[in-house]
Amino acid sequence: MVEVQRRVLYLHHRDSPPLHPNRQTLSAGRIKEPMSRKIRIVTSSFATLEDTRPPYNLRHPTPEENLRTAQLILETASAYKPDLVVLPEAFLLAGMPLSKVKDIAEAIPGPTFAVLASSCCAGNFNLVAGHVTHENGRYYNQALVLDRSGKLVGSYRKNYPVEEEIRCGVEPGRQPAAFDLDFGRIGVAICFDLNWPGLWAALEKERIDFACWISAYEGGFPVKNYAWQHRYPIVSSVWPYHARVVDITGEILASTSRWSRVAVCDLNLDRELFHTDLQMDKIAQIQARYGSAVSVRTYTEEHLILMESQTPERSVRDLMDEYGLVRYADYIQRCTDFRSQALNESLS
């Protein structure tokens, strides 16, 4: 049985281009958000370190066993009616030596892709899944992004393979990648990419709603650091035990475990981060007027506020316009500009 852990995450919204297909553009050039942007994500882990049944021996799965694990995860995920499911890096290779890369690699489309596409169509979900592929005699560690119909939206080639991968024939990718799905925009990274800060900064410039990091290991504190530094949540899917959803604060909002292969998060994209400076009175006014239609989470030590709309009638963007709120990123930029101006004046 695939056990499931659930947690709710309300996700930071980024309202910059490129436009999502479910957004409308007003004549004045401002982007009007749909009244509700709530989605569900299911992420997964493969527990490749050991058998989950007594005597808990170290296990060495075959590609066929890994495919069956993936199919069971997708079948379980489908029961939760998700918008997005995430499978780990090169999941057919999970628990196997890198020397098997060329033996496992498949063309796209191929038999494993056909299984994934069929699952997307049957379950009506988008999918990010790791796969080892070959094309024109070259081999890649890729993240495949499929839509609800099973169509390939696009793929990302791992930019930073480890030395042994390259020795075994894997060719590095050349650039970061972001993809527009029917609910928003996601970024994708793979495993050892975690060690190159520039890639994560590049994804921030792509104005993603969140990143999917698929991996052979769990990542730990660097994942939390990137989530805060670039202010987008990160959804991981891994070979070992702990696939996670990490919020922009570094908090773990959902996780698989040694016993649980699937974790479910309900995400509300209508959310914004603010600094407390000159804004606490405005937040209090919003709470007094709208009550439970708006939820506010405050962070005492950090002087931060997370505000979320709980009603389709009024978005956080509407509240920002009504009360003149300045989001955190804009406030930091404004302070930076003021500093530059002061320094220039002191030199004149």
- pLDDT at residue 346 greater than cutoff 90: no
Phi, psi (degrees; rounded to nearest 5) at 128: -115, 125
- pLDDT value for 22: 36
- 264 forms beta bridges with 6, 42
pLDDT for 120 beyond 70: yes
Q: Over 50: is that where the pLDDT of 197 sits?
A: yes
Determine the Cα–Cα distance for residues 344 and 348; give it in Å rounded to an integer.
6
Q: Which of 292, 246, 251, 299 is nearest to 275 (CA)?
A: 299
Alpha carbon distance 197, 207 (integer Å): 16
In whole angstroms, give the CA distance from residue 290 to residue 252: 29
Sign of CA dihedral 78, 79, 83, 86: negative
Quick one: which of 94, 98, 95, 77 has its CA closest to 86? 77
DSSP-assigned letters across all residues of 264-295? EEEEE--EEEEESTTTHHHHHHHHHHHGGGEE
For residues 3 and 171, give the distance between their C-alpha atoms in angstroms, rounded to a whole number: 36
Same fold flag, 4-268 and 271-347: no
> 4-268: what CATH class?
alpha beta
The closest alpha carbon to 246, from 267, 224, 229, belongs to: 224
For CA atoms 303, 309, 310, 314, the dihedral sign is positive
The residues near 306 (Cβ < 8 Å, ≥ 6 apart) are 10, 249, 271, 272, 273, 274, 296, 297, 298, 299
Place of tokens 């709530």: 38
pLDDT digits (tens, 9 = 90+) for 83-99: 999 999 999 999 898 99
CATH topology assigned to domain 271-347: Alpha-Beta Plaits (3.30.70)
Least confident segment among 18-22, 122-126, 181-185, 259-263 = 18-22
Structural domain boundaries of the chain?
4-268, 271-347
Phi-psi region of 304 (alpha: psi -120 to 50; beta: other; left: phi over 0): beta
Task: Say yes or no to pLDDT of 8 above 70.
Answer: no
Q: Are 21 and 180 in contact (CB under 8 A)?
A: yes
What DSSP assignment string belongs to 137-162? TEEEEEEEEE-TTS-EEEEEE-SS--
pLDDT number for residue 5 = 46
3-state helix, strand, coil in the chain (%, to 5): 30, 30, 40
CA–CA distance, 187 with 156 (Å, rounded to integer): 9
Percent of the chain with pLDDT over 70: 87
Average per-residue pLDDT in the chain? 88
Specify whether the CB–CB gap between 320 and 311 falls below 8 A. Answer: no
Summarize pLDDT for 135-182 with one digit per residue, the tens: 999 999 999 999 999 999 999 999 999 999 999 999 999 999 999 999
Helix (H) or strand (E) holding 82: none
